[in-house]
Amino acid sequence: MYKTKIISALMAASLMAGVSPAAAGSGPIKIVLAEEADLLEPCMATRSNIGRIIMENVSETLTELDVRGKKGVMPRLAEKWEQTADGSWRFHLRQGVKFSNGTTFDAKDVKHSFERIFSDKNACESRRYFGGMKIDTTVVDANTIDFKVDPVQPILPLLMSLVTIVPEETPMEFIREPIGTGPYALSNWTPGQQIVLTGRSDYWGDKPQVTQATYLFRSDPAVRAAMVQTGEADLSPSISQLDATNTKTDFSYLDSETVYLRIDHNIAPLNDVRVRKALNLAIDRQAFVGSLVPDGAVLATALVPPTTLGWNPDVKVFPFDPEGAKKLLEQAKADGVAVETPITVIARTANFPNVTEIMEAIQAQLQDVGFKIDLKFVEVAEHEGYYSKPFKEGRGPILVAASHDNSKGDPSFTMFFKYATKGTQAGFSDPKVDDLIQRATAAVGDERAKLWSQLIAYLHDDVVADVLLFHMVGFSRVSERLDFKPTIATNSMLQLSDISIK
């Protein structure tokens, strides 16, 4: 509504392009973000508004996922790791690393960081990645630590990329001034105004070109774009599509959000696979791209983006086939399925750009093939009530429009929650799905990728689990003095060391 600019052509930036070789420049930069970090707590760094500032800048992890290349899990504070015969993991830690308070990093800090995220004195978000696991940590020596996890965790090194390491002295309660081993330390935080990170001279790794980063916060996307344009800021990772008009500074990037309609298979007529297929055939996904959904968005065949392990290129998007959908509905009706029962689509206000228009168009397309669709918009908390278990008793057939974010590189962060019988947002229960998730979660290497691929195909083609729609794109504005291309992880993490100054 605020926008005064008109839509113009969008540029096709390379999505996963690497940063150009380092140039000679160095100096301070300013970054303008949409949402202020209310807390700079390291164990909350998996929340995007916090992680974008401190993750790997102030607080580092034992491992990190390569989101720019295909190196997979890479060493960070751990130099190497191995799995022992009993399934435990041994991590060998980097030596000569100091926290910004001057203390030396060692295995006791890692142990404490784990104890802290499981403490009942805080509500650390990173704990959610270890649900159902029992973790015993044993300090072998100052630079070696063992993790015995029950059940055995083949992806523990990947999970380590989500746990930030704090010094042993950190209290269990939430803190507001993070101490980390990263290349930057917090030097100023004026709530509501700015957060400043300043480069550390005693950092163990390569010295980044950005010497200081000032984070500013503006909710309005047009203002964020204007700030980079006028030089008040150098980078805004998120601007609106309407403002992304300058091909020299504005880039679109696949932002790891996948939009879909979650089908509740428990209630007729959605318990019939023909009806679920008809839902998928009735929607003209391609027509949305470039109109209501930005150019560059990718039609989804899985709830995880294409950069994820095991993403299956052989699974094809359902074609737009209204006649086919009508036929399927007729067949189901002939077999006594109550296809005329009104189905409610629940969508969340302001969940993603153009959500109202997209949902209204989908409603119209579904109605065109014979579905009776009610569309209901709700706010975030009510949406959560429909999306997550326990589902309400006596509910009618429901499709929940939702947006799911997985930039972590492995489907395990998605599949259990969305598809396993015990998953909080699973709309069905299928023993084969449970088995595949269990086996894939426990597998390693090619076997793991193969099992995830198999699951993705089974969910899409046989179960017809949901109506998958789009992998969305975001838009960023980067000053011409910087050399930086956003990645699929930019939503949740913005490493200052990835930014070069021309």
Partner 1 sequence: MLSFIRKRSLSSLLSLIGLLVMVFFLSRLTGDPAALFLPVEASAEMKQQFRELHGLNDPLLVQFGRYVGNVLTGDLGESLRKARPALDVVLEAFVWTLWLAAITMSLVASAAIVVGSLAAFRTGGFFDRLSSMVSLIGASVPDFWLAIVAIVVFSIQLAWLPTSGTGSVLHWILPIGVLFVRPFGIIVQVVRGSMISALSSAYVKTARAKGVKAGPIIFVHALRNAMLPVITVLGDQAASLLNGAVIVETIFGFPGVGKLMIDSILQRDFNVVLAAILVTAVAIFLMNVLIDLAYAVLDPRIRH
β-strand pairing of 194-199 with 210-217: antiparallel
Rule CB under 8 A: which of 112-141 touch partner 1?
120-123, 125, 127-128, 131
Amino acid at 116: R
Neighbouring-strand partners of residue 261: 401, 467
Least distance to partner 1, CB of residue 12, Å: 26
Question: Per rule CB under 8 A, is residue 403 in the interface with partner 1?
Answer: no
Indicate if the alpha-carbon torsion angle 351, 310, 411, 264 is positive or negative.
positive
Question: Per rule CB under 8 A, is residue 172 in the interface with partner 1?
Answer: no
**C-alpha distances out from residue 250 to 234, 238, 452, Å:** 12, 10, 35
Least distance to partner 1, CB of residue 33, Å: 11
Question: Per rule CB under 8 A, is residue 101 in the interface with partner 1?
Answer: no
Question: Per rule CB under 8 A, is residue 295 in the interface with partner 1?
Answer: no
Looking at beta carbons only, is 31 or 339 nearer to partner 1? Answer: 31
Question: Per rule CB under 8 A, is residue 392 in the interface with partner 1?
Answer: no
Question: Per rule CB under 8 A, is residue 219 in the interface with partner 1?
Answer: yes
Question: Per rule CB under 8 A, is residue 218 in the interface with partner 1?
Answer: yes
Q: Which of 191, 290, 319, 342 binds partner 1 (CB under 8 A)?
A: 191
Looking at beta carbons only, is 224 or 265 nearer to partner 1? Answer: 224
Question: Per rule CB under 8 A, is residue 171 in the interface with partner 1?
Answer: no
Least distance to partner 1, CB of residue 328, Å: 31
Looking at beta carbons only, is 121 or 207 nearer to partner 1? Answer: 121
Question: Per rule CB under 8 A, is residue 259 in the interface with partner 1?
Answer: no
Structure tokens at 176: 């507001």
| Phi and psi torsions of 31, nearest 5° | -120, 130
Question: Per rule CB under 8 A, is residue 18 in the interface with partner 1?
Answer: no
**Nearest alpha carbon to residue 385 among 359, 354, 346:** 346
Question: Three-state secondary structure along 188-232?
Answer: EEECCCEEEEEECCCCCCCCCCEEEEEEEECCCHHHHHHHHHHCC
Give the binding range for partner 1 (CB under 8 A) out of 143-151, 167-175, 268-276, 337-345. Answer: 167-175
Looking at beta carbons only, is 330 or 382 nearer to partner 1? Answer: 382
Looking at beta carbons only, is 222 or 267 nearer to partner 1? Answer: 222
Scored b (16 or more CB within 10 A) or e, 479-496 reads beebbbbbbbbbbbbbbb
Q: Which of 20, 25, 27, 38 binds partner 1 (CB under 8 A)?
A: 38
Site size with partner 1, rule: CB under 8 A: 44
Looking at beta carbons only, is 241 or 280 nearer to partner 1? Answer: 241
* DSSP 8-state symbol, 6: P
Looking at beta carbons only, is 16 or 135 nearer to partner 1? Answer: 135
Neighbouring-strand partners of residue 398: 344
Least distance to partner 1, CB of residue 130, Å: 10
**Nearest alpha carbon to residue 479 among 210, 275, 166, 126:** 210
Q: Which of 71, 134, 176, 316 binds partner 1 (CB under 8 A)?
A: 176
Question: Per rule CB under 8 A, is residue 1 in the interface with partner 1?
Answer: yes
Q: Which of 89, 251, 260, 387 binds partner 1 (CB under 8 A)?
A: 387
Question: Per rule CB under 8 A, is residue 227 in the interface with partner 1?
Answer: yes
Least distance to partner 1, CB of residue 15, Å: 25
Least distance to partner 1, CB of residue 419, Å: 13
Q: Which of 232, 284, 330, 461 binds partner 1 (CB under 8 A)?
A: 232
CB 309 within 8 A of CB 450: no
**Alpha helical stretches, state H, 231-310:** 273-281, 285-288
**C-alpha distances out from residue 191 to 31, 36, 59, 215, 464, Å:** 16, 8, 20, 11, 47
Least distance to partner 1, CB of residue 190, Å: 8
- The residues, ordered by sequence, that sit 6+ positions from 224 with a Cβ below 8 Å of its Cβ are 32, 33, 34, 218, 233, 236, 238, 239, 477
Distance CA 45, CA 126 (A): 8
CB 128 within 8 A of CB 211: no
Rule CB under 8 A: which of 355-384 touch partner 1?
380-382, 384
CB 214 within 8 A of CB 208: no
State which H helix or E strand residue 12 sits in.
Answer: none
Question: Per rule CB under 8 A, is residue 347 in the interface with partner 1?
Answer: no
List residues binding partner 1 (CB under 8 A): 1-4, 38-39, 41, 47, 120-123, 125, 127-128, 131, 173-176, 191-193, 216-220, 222-223, 226-227, 229-230, 232, 380-382, 384, 387-388, 417, 424-425
